[in-house]
Structure 1
Amino acid sequence: MFLTVRPLPRSWRSLALLSLGLLAGGCVVGPDYRAPEPALPGRYLNARSGPSVTAASLDGWWKRFGDPVLDALIAEAVANNLDVEQAKARVRQARATRLQTAAALAPSVDGSAASTHSRTSASASGANVSSNLYQAGFDASWELDLFGANRRSLEAATRSAEASEEDLRATLLTLVGDVAQNYIEARGYLARAALARRTTASQRETAELTRAKVDAGASSPVDLAKARALAASTQANVPTLEASFAKSAHRLGVLLGRGPEAVVARMRRDATIPAPRRPLPPGLPADVLRNRPDLRQAERKLAQATALIGQAEAALYPSVTLSGTLATSGVRVGDLANASSLAWSFGPSVTVPIFDAGRRRAAVAVEQALRDQSHAAYHGAILAALEDVENALVGLAQQRLRSGHLDTAARGYREAARLARIRYAGGSSSFLDVLDAERSLYDAEDNLLQSRILAATSFVALGKALGGGWAGEIDAARARVVDSNTGPRLATRPAPRD
Structure 2
Amino acid sequence: MNNQYLTPLAILSMVSLIACTPTRVGDQVALNSPTTWQHAPNTQTTETVDLKTWWQGFNDPLLNELIDKALAANHDLKIATARIREANAMVTVAEAALYPSLDFSLSGGREKRIDRIVGVPDGQGIKLITPTADAVSGGLAARWEIDVFGGRHLEAEAAAAQAQGSQEGLHAAQVGLLAQVATNYLELRGVQQRTNILQNNIALQRERLRTLQAFLKAGLANEADIARQQTLLQGTAAALPTLINAEQNLIHRLGVLLGEQPESLGTRLAAAGPLPKQAPAMPKLLPPDLLAQRPDLRLAQTEVSAAAASLGSARADLYPKIVLSASGGVGALAVGGFPSLADSVYALGSGISAPIFNAGRIRAQITAADARLEQIAANYEKTFLLALEDVENAFVAHRSATDSLGKLTEAEASAEKAYRLVDALYQRGAGNYLAVLDAQRGKLAASDERAKAETAVGVAMVSLYRAFGGGWMANSANSAVDTAFMP
Taking structure 2 as the reference length, the TM-score comes to 0.87
Counterpart of 2:79?
Answer: 86
Which whole-Å CA distance do the structure 2 matches of 1:51 and 1:105 have between them? Answer: 54
Counterpart of 1:481?
Answer: none
Q: How does 1:310-389 map to 2 (within 5 A)?
A: 310-331=312-333, 341-389=343-391
How far off its partner does 1:288 sit? 1.1
Which whole-Å CA distance do the structure 1 matches of 2:165 and 2:11 have between them? Answer: 38
Counterpart of 1:494?
Answer: none
Which whole-Å CA distance do the structure 1 matches of 2:207 and 2:34 have between them? Answer: 59
How far off its partner does 1:296 sit? 0.8
From 444, 448, 452, the counterpart of 2:446: 444
Counterpart of 1:496?
Answer: none
Q: How does 1:252-267 map to 2 (within 5 A)?
A: 252-267=254-269
Gaps of 5+ in 1: 1-8, 333-337, 479-498
From 464, 482, 487, the counterpart of 1:473: 482
How far off its partner does 1:269 sit? 2.0
Q: Which amino acid aligns with 2:62?
A: V
Q: Where does structure 1 differ by over 6 angstroms across 4 or more consecutive aligned residues?
A: 9-12, 49-53, 421-425, 433-436
CA RMSD in angstroms comes to: 2.9
Q: Which amino acid aligns with 1:219?
A: A
How far off its partner does 1:117 sit? 2.5
Identity of aligned residues (%): 33
How far off its partner does 1:230 sit? 1.9
Counterpart of 2:33?
Answer: 40
Counterpart of 2:94?
Answer: 101
Q: Is the 8 A contact 1:285 1:386 kept in 2?
A: yes
Structure 2 counterpart SS, 1:105: coil
How far off its partner does 1:307 sit? 0.7
How far off its partner does 1:89 sit? 0.6
Q: Is the 8 A contact 1:203 1:438 kept in 2?
A: no
Q: Which amino acid aligns with 1:30?
A: R
Q: How many residues align?
A: 462
Counterpart of 1:491?
Answer: none
Counterpart of 2:108?
Answer: 115
Which whole-Å CA distance do the structure 2 matches of 1:286 and 1:280 have between them? Answer: 17
Which whole-Å CA distance do the structure 2 matches of 1:204 and 1:58 have between them? Answer: 49
Which whole-Å CA distance do the structure 2 matches of 1:221 and 1:421 have between them? Answer: 26
Counterpart of 2:56?
Answer: 63
- For residues 286 and 452 of structure 1, do their structure 2 counterparts lie closer, same or farther at Cα, with a shift above 3 Å needed? same
Which whole-Å CA distance do the structure 1 matches of 2:239 and 2:259 have between them? Answer: 31
Structure 2 counterpart SS, 1:236: helix
Q: Which amino acid aligns with 1:348?
A: S
From 24, 28, 33, the counterpart of 1:30: 24
Q: Deviations over 1:34-55 (max 9, x none)?
A: x3342222211122579999x9
Counterpart of 1:241?
Answer: 243
Q: Is the 8 A contact 1:98 1:161 kept in 2?
A: yes
Q: Which amino acid aligns with 2:332?
A: G
Which whole-Å CA distance do the structure 2 matches of 1:48 and 1:37 have between them? Answer: 28
From 54, 65, 69, the counterpart of 1:72: 65
How far off its partner does 1:149 sit? 0.5
- For residues 207 and 52 of structure 1, do their structure 2 counterparts lie closer, same or farther at Cα, with a shift above 3 Å needed? closer
Q: Is the 8 A contact 1:13 1:348 kept in 2?
A: no
Which whole-Å CA distance do the structure 2 matches of 1:52 and 1:11 have between them? Answer: 74
Q: Which amino acid aligns with 2:105?
A: S
Which whole-Å CA distance do the structure 1 matches of 2:287 and 2:45 have between them? Answer: 9
Which whole-Å CA distance do the structure 2 matches of 1:341 and 1:56 have between them? Answer: 76
How far off its partner does 1:13 sit? 4.2
Counterpart of 1:294?
Answer: 296
How far off its partner does 1:128 sit? 5.0
Q: Is the 8 A contact 1:192 1:446 kept in 2?
A: yes
How far off its partner does 1:217 sit? 1.4
How far off its partner does 1:344 sit? 1.0
Gaps of 5+ in 2: 120-125, 335-339, 473-479
Q: Is the 8 A contact 1:29 1:310 kept in 2?
A: yes
Q: Is the 8 A contact 1:252 1:260 kept in 2?
A: yes
Which whole-Å CA distance do the structure 2 matches of 1:444 and 1:345 have between them? Answer: 92
Structure 1 counterpart SS, 2:352: strand
Q: Is the 8 A contact 2:408 2:450 kept in 1?
A: yes
Q: Is the 8 A contact 2:145 2:321 kept in 1?
A: yes
Counterpart of 1:307?
Answer: 309
Counterpart of 2:13?
Answer: 19
- For residues 361 and 437 of structure 1, do their structure 2 counterparts lie closer, same or farther at Cα, with a shift above 3 Å needed? same
- For residues 257 and 382 of structure 1, do their structure 2 counterparts lie closer, same or farther at Cα, with a shift above 3 Å needed? same
Q: Which moved more, 1:415-424 or 1:152-161?
A: 415-424
How far off its partner does 1:442 sit? 4.1
